[in-house]
Every structure is written in C-alpha cells, then in structure tokens.
Amino acid sequence: MSEDVPRIDPSRSALVVMDYQPAIVARVPGCDDLLARMRDTIALARGHGMTIGYVRVAFDDADYAAVPETNKSFSVLAGGRQMHADAPETAVHEAVAPEPGDIVVRKTRVGGFSTTDLDRQLRDRGVDTLILAGISTSGVVLSTVRDAADHDYRLYVLEDGCADTDPEVHRVLTQKIFPRQAYVVSIAELPGLLA
C-alpha cells in the first residue's frame, strides 16, 4: 500500500456491497473465495462500527414496463422479465446477507445511485467516505465510482472485493482507471487503514 492512502474514519464511512446476488455471483470464477473474503470484510467493517450498505438489481412489474428498448442491456432483462424483485436469485447472497440497520437499496439500472436513494441514506448517516465492492467491476463498480466521485465522496475500491467475468477488464479498471478517482486497495490492507 502506498503511504499516501488516507486513513479511514469508520464513523463517517460505509462499506457498500453491490450486486452480490446469487444470479450474479454464480457467473464469477472463484465465487466461493470471493464470498468468503467479503463475509470477513463485512465483519471487520461492522466491528469498527462502520455503516454497511447493499445495492441489488431487481425489477418489479412497473420497472419492466419503464425500461425503453433504447437501453441495450436492460431492455433484454425487461423483455425476458429477468431479475424479478421477488425471485430468490435477486436477494443479497446469504453468505453476505444484510443485518437489521444496514442500508439496502434496489436499483433498476447499472449504478448504485441512479435509481435509488442511496446518496440520501448515506448523507443522513453522516457518511462522506465509501469503500466499494461489487460484481461486476465493469458494471456496477465502474458506474458507481464515477457517480460517487461526482457526489464528492472519498472513495476506496477493494480490488479483490470486486470481480468481472473478464480478468483483463478488471485489471485495467482497477490499475488504470479507478485510481484517478479512488484509492484502490486490497482487503488485506483495509485493517491497517482502519487502525
């Protein structure tokens, strides 16, 4: 870890776990190891009194109807009525499940902010720093990094708390793109930043 990575104040920070849902986790090679790492990371964050937030993608009937065919990826989901909000595969994965008091938002687009009240819920808790983990790196993580930076959060991305079906895309994003707006760190480095 570079010495210029600022320490994290847990009282003003949130660990945001994005799209860790059975339907999405199953697409990632090594998903059992990823889930185990995130379970431990969530426990670490809880132990420091940090806010824990979850973002999940899922649709109800009105959401399907509201997706225009101009939306290349989501029109396919809506047309096939995939990822329904009541389906078990769209719940947060049981290995990293929310606890009472956690923030949980349901989105209908890629980023964690665009169709949710995540920003308001974080601000209401005094959060100005986000630690992001998600599947996929090129989807929810990329969109949320960009949007969160525009919302003026201090950002950390857990490189090994994110995954993508394309390892090269994950590498380029975490090593070349995200460092422009976020501190990219490993899960192993997190305890030292919270000390």
Q: What is the CATH number of the domain that holds 64?
A: 3.40.50.850
- Tell whether 105 is covered by a domain: yes
Its domain, for residue 16, covers 10-194
- Tell whether 3 is covered by a domain: no
Is-contact 54 92, C-beta < 8 A? yes
State yes or no: cis peptide before 2, omega within 30 of 0.
no
- Tell whether 96 is covered by a domain: yes
Distance CA 59, CA 61 (A): 7
- Tell whether 35 is covered by a domain: yes
- Tell whether 75 is covered by a domain: yes
State the pLDDT at residue 195: 72
- Tell whether 132 is covered by a domain: yes
State the pLDDT at residue 40: 98
For the chain, which ranges sit under pLDDT 70? 1-3
Question: Hunting for tokens 């009105």 — which residue is that?
Answer: 62
Distances (CA, A) of 119 to 153, 174, 179: 10, 23, 22
State the pLDDT at residue 3: 59
- Tell whether 4 is covered by a domain: no
State the pLDDT at residue 142: 98
Q: What are the backbone dihedrals phi and psi of residue 154, each rounded to the nearest 5 degrees, phi first?
A: -75, 130
- Tell whether 2 is covered by a domain: no
Q: What is the number of structural domains in the chain?
A: 1
